[in-house]
Amino acid sequence: MPRVEPTCPQFDYITAKDAYPAMVAGFGSGKTEAAVLRSIMGKLAYPGLNRGFYEPTYDLVRMIAWPRFEEILTRLEIPYKLLKSPLNYISIEGKGNIFFRSMDAPGRIIGYEHADADVDELDTLKDKEAADVWRRILSRNRQKKPDGKPNTIGVTTTPEGFRFVYRTWKESPRPGYRIIQAPTSSNPHLPDGYIDSLRDIYPESLLQAYLEGEFVNLTSGTVYHTFSRELNNTDITEQRGEHLHIGMDFNVQNMSAVIHVIRDGDPVAVGEITGVLDTPAMIELIKDRYAGHKISVYPDASGGSRKTVDASTSDLALLKQAGFAVEVDRSNPSVRDRVTAMCSAFCNAKGERRYRVNVRRCPIYAACLEQQAYDKHGAPDKTQGLDHAPDAGGYFIAKRYPINKPKAGMKRIRGLA
Ligand SMILES: Nc1ncnc2c1ncn2[C@@H]1O[C@H](COP(=O)(O)OP(=O)(O)OP(=O)(O)O)[C@@H](O)[C@H]1O
Ligand SMILES: [Mg+2]
């Protein structure tokens, strides 16, 4: 019989007798692997009953969950059939089904029932959405077990601050709720250099959560806490004709732009334009001040539909008509991803400060970076007017220097045919 060798926290999680065990652990610690193993072992223990398996998005079901199930079922020599969209379940011969659903379509968590379930990355959902999805999964989880044991739901997730998983499993857990926390380093099967590469990518404050698996307040104090007006300062200015990269935020009567150059691959803020009436006025100012430069604009993606001037031409169309290269995706990255990209560019966990700001030339940008705080809902505060310039700079940084979490990879092909 081919063997599966779980790590210690995976073993504790998979064999937990509690109704609602949660493995809360760092990136790459083997959470998804544990979820798949718990699902398959539970399936074999209760042939004839169904299970549910939940990922945050359908893409994750397709690209993460199914390949893992196929690999492990094959390794364990368990015959199965994978029925993809629209059915979305794995049928194990004579042993019932495992239903797959994505949590971003909670309306589709309906019309089936199971005895047990596994939920991957629950805490990456917003607080309210996580609570809603959890209730829906609980209500699917009602098939009666022949041995009279309780229905169970297991959760595997990174800790995302003091949100649903913290409140439910850590702060005041009710009976049956058990938490198993683990650091990334508990998984010996990661490729060499994986943990080190996370230190390049993330600021120190996030690694307590993402490497150690601890709940930490991700939204306390100032938003851009890694920015230092001394340590990130530079006297670099743009050279004649140099390619300029302009992050831009649209606000009627209060548009902002932060002007950058790229030196040795790293971003440098060399100027700012704030408090501008509308997009045409902004275009005029840029053309006037930066004549002779090649200009790329990195705007707020919602400017594709927004019109600060008239109802017929969008802000993005105006920028293109002005002859600027417009670098924008169909939608903005999440605020959290944009802020993380900024914080990491100002200072990563290795103390490297890639993003420099000419503070003398960008006085408002620097002041906003120092002062903008989180509001009581854990979102960057927008009531003090300190959000516009950092948003502008952030659209450029998030587009050109995004956070790309490294793939944990498949080091352990060993044992497979
Ligand atoms: N018990 C194990 N034996 C062998 N390899 C394992 C084991 N557990 C995990 N792995 C391997 O370690 C890597 C990371 O595992 P996994 O993707 O499950 O971690 P994760 O915590 O879900 O990661 P992420 O945070 O990226 O979602 C994968 O390549 C996986 O195949
Ligand atoms: Mg995972």
In tens, the pLDDT along 167-185 reads 999 999 999 999 999 999 9
Q: How far is the CA of 27 from the centre of ligand 2 (A)?
A: 7
Q: Is the C-beta atom of 238 inside 6 A of ligand 1?
A: no
> Are residues 181 and 253 both part of a single domain?
no
Q: Which ligand is nearest to the CA of 30?
A: 1
Q: How far is the CA of 31 from the centre of ligand 1 (A)?
A: 6
Inside any domain, residue 88: yes
Q: Is the C-beta atom of 33 inside 6 A of ligand 1?
A: yes
> Are residues 334 and 205 both part of a single domain?
no
What local confidence, expressed as pLDDT, does residue 101 receive?
Answer: 97
| Mean pLDDT to the nearest integer, 216-235 | 95
H or E element that contains 130: helix 127-140
Are 371 and 363 in contact, with CB atoms under 8 Å apart? no
Q: How far is the CA of 33 from the centre of ligand 2 (A)?
A: 7
DSSP code per residue over 279-291: HHHHHHHHHHHTT
> Are residues 293 and 203 both part of a single domain?
no
Q: Rg of the chain's alpha carbons, rounded to an integer?
A: 25
pLDDT in tens, 318-333: 999 999 999 999 999 9
Region for 306 from its dihedrals, namely left if φ exceeds 0, alpha if ψ lies in -120 to 50, beta otherwise: beta
342 pLDDT more than 90: yes
| Mean pLDDT to the nearest integer, 129-144 | 97
What local confidence, expressed as pLDDT, does residue 413 receive?
Answer: 36
Which atom of ligand 1 is found nearest the CA of 7? 1
Ligand 1 pocket check: which of 57, 60, 75, 187 to mutate, most ligand atoms within 8 Å of Cβ?
187
Token readout for 5 is 């060798």
> Are residues 173 and 289 both part of a single domain?
no
Q: How far is the CA of 416 from the centre of ligand 2 (A)?
A: 21
> Are residues 272 and 163 both part of a single domain?
no
Which atom of ligand 1 is found nearest the CA of 36? 18
Q: How far is the CA of 30 from the centre of ligand 2 (A)?
A: 7
> Are residues 205 and 343 both part of a single domain?
no
Are 160 and 124 in contact, with CB atoms under 8 Å apart? yes
Q: How far is the CA of 407 from the centre of ligand 2 (A)?
A: 10
What local confidence, expressed as pLDDT, does residue 414 receive?
Answer: 35
Inside any domain, residue 225: no
What local confidence, expressed as pLDDT, does residue 306 receive?
Answer: 67
CA distances from 135 to 42, 57, 131, 177 (A): 21, 18, 6, 15
Inside any domain, residue 221: no
What local confidence, expressed as pLDDT, does residue 94 receive?
Answer: 81
Inside any domain, residue 131: yes
| Mean pLDDT to the nearest integer, 11-33 | 97
What local confidence, expressed as pLDDT, does residue 376 receive?
Answer: 87
> Are residues 275 and 321 both part of a single domain?
yes
> Are residues 189 and 280 both part of a single domain?
no
pLDDT band at 405 (very low <50, low <70, confident <90, very high): confident
> Are residues 166 and 297 both part of a single domain?
no
Find the CATH number of the domain harbouring 360: 3.30.420.280
Which atom of ligand 1 is found nearest the CA of 6? 1
What local confidence, expressed as pLDDT, does residue 122 receive?
Answer: 97
> Are residues 356 and 256 both part of a single domain?
yes
310 pLDDT more than 90: no
Inside any domain, residue 238: no
β-bridge mates for residue 53, sequence order = 100, 118
pLDDT band at 220 (very low <50, low <70, confident <90, very high): confident
Ligand 1 pocket check: which of 5, 33, 72 to mutate, most ligand atoms within 8 Å of Cβ?
33
CB environment 265-275: b (16+ within 10 A), e (fewer) = eebbbbbbbbe
> Are residues 308 and 201 both part of a single domain?
no
Of the given ranges (127-141, 220-234, 403-417), which has the lowest mean pLDDT?
403-417
What local confidence, expressed as pLDDT, does residue 304 receive?
Answer: 67
CB environment 196-222: b (16+ within 10 A), e (fewer) = eebbebbbbbbbbbbbbbebbebbeeb
Q: Is the C-beta atom of 186 inside 6 A of ligand 1?
A: no
Inside any domain, residue 337: yes
Q: Is the C-beta atom of 415 inside 6 A of ligand 1?
A: no
> Are residues 16 and 143 both part of a single domain?
yes
Burial environment of residue 129 by CB neighbours within 10 A (0 to 12, 13 to 18, 19 or more): middle
For the chain, how far is it from start to end, CA to CA, in angstroms? 13
CA distances from 348 to 133, 287, 356, 357, 401 (A): 34, 35, 13, 16, 13
404 pLDDT more than 80: yes
What local confidence, expressed as pLDDT, does residue 302 receive?
Answer: 85
pLDDT band at 312 (very low <50, low <70, confident <90, very high): low
Find the CATH number of the domain harbouring 166: 3.40.50.300
| Mean pLDDT to the nearest integer, 231-253 | 96
Main-chain phi, psi angles of 290, to 5 degrees: -120, 40
Token readout for 376 is 């009581």
Spatial separation of the C-alpha atoms in residues 225 and 380, rounded to whole Å: 12
410 pLDDT more than 90: no
415 pLDDT more than 50: no
pLDDT band at 307 (very low <50, low <70, confident <90, very high): low
pLDDT in tens, 81-93: 999 999 999 999 8
> Tokens 């990136």 — which residue?
27
pLDDT band at 134 (very low <50, low <70, confident <90, very high): very high
Region for 415 from its dihedrals, namely left if φ exceeds 0, alpha if ψ lies in -120 to 50, beta otherwise: left
Q: How far is the CA of 52 from the centre of ligand 2 (A)?
A: 17
Token readout for 324 is 């600027």
Inside any domain, residue 274: yes
Of the given ranges (151-155, 276-280, 359-363), which has the lowest mean pLDDT?
276-280
Q: Is the C-beta atom of 412 inside 6 A of ligand 1?
A: yes
95 pLDDT more than 60: yes
Q: How far is the CA of 407 from the centre of ligand 1 (A)?
A: 10
Q: What range does the domain containing 177 cover? A: 8-210
Q: Is the C-beta atom of 184 inside 6 A of ligand 1?
A: no
| Mean pLDDT to the nearest integer, 350-360 | 98
53 pLDDT more than 70: yes
Query: How many folded domains does the chain comprise?
Result: 2
Inside any domain, residue 305: yes
